[in-house]
Amino acid sequence: MSVVSQEPPFGVVIGGPAAFQKRFEHGLILISLLLGCAGAAYWYFGLGKPLTWIDISSFLVGYTVINIGVGMVLHRYFSHKSYETYTWMRYVLGSFATMACQGSILKWAADHRRHHSHTDECGDLHSPHVDHHCHDTDTLRGMFHAHIGWAFDDTTTDLKIYGKGLADDPVVQFFGRTRYFWYVASVAIFPGIYGYALGGFDGMMGSILFGGFVRTFVLLNAVLAVNSIGHKWGSERYGQDNHSKNNFWLALLTFGDGFHNNHHHFPRAAMAGHRWWEIDVNGWIIHGMGKIGLAWNVVSVPESVLYPETVPVAQDNEAPKGKAVA
Residue 200 domain flag: yes
- Out of 27-31, 137-141, 306-310, which region has the weakest mean confidence (pLDDT)? 306-310
What is the number of structural domains in the chain? 1
Structural domain includes residue 6: no
pLDDT tens across 134-155, in order? Answer: 887 777 889 999 999 999 999 9
- Asked, for residue 4, whether it belongs to a domain, the answer is no
What integer best gives the mean pLDDT of the chain? Answer: 92
pLDDT of residue 69: 98
Contact 43, 205 (CB under 8 A): yes
| 321 inside domain | no
Quick one: pLDDT band at residue 323, thresholds 50, 70, 90? very low
Residues of the domain holding 161: 12-310
322 in a structural domain: no
Whether pLDDT at 315 is above 60: no
pLDDT value of position 324 = 46
For the stretch 239-261, what's the b/e string if a residue is b when 16 or more beta carbons lie within 10 angstroms of its beta carbon?
Answer: ebebbbbbbeebbebbbbbbbbb
Please check whether residue 185 lies inside any domain of the structure. Answer: yes
On whether residue 317 sits in a domain, the answer given is no
Task: Please tell me the distance from the alpha carbon of residue 81 to that of residue 78, in angstroms, as a whole number.
Answer: 6
Question: Is 319 within the bounds of a domain?
Answer: no
Please name which of 88, 93, 65, 63 lies closest in space to residue 78, comparing C-alpha atoms: 93
> pLDDT for 37-56, tens place per residue?
999 999 999 999 999 999 99
Distance in angstroms (rounded) separating the CA atoms of residues 116 and 119:
5
Cα–Cα distance, 136 to 90 (Å, whole number)? 40
Minimum mean pLDDT among 80-89, 105-114, 257-266, 311-320: which range? Answer: 311-320
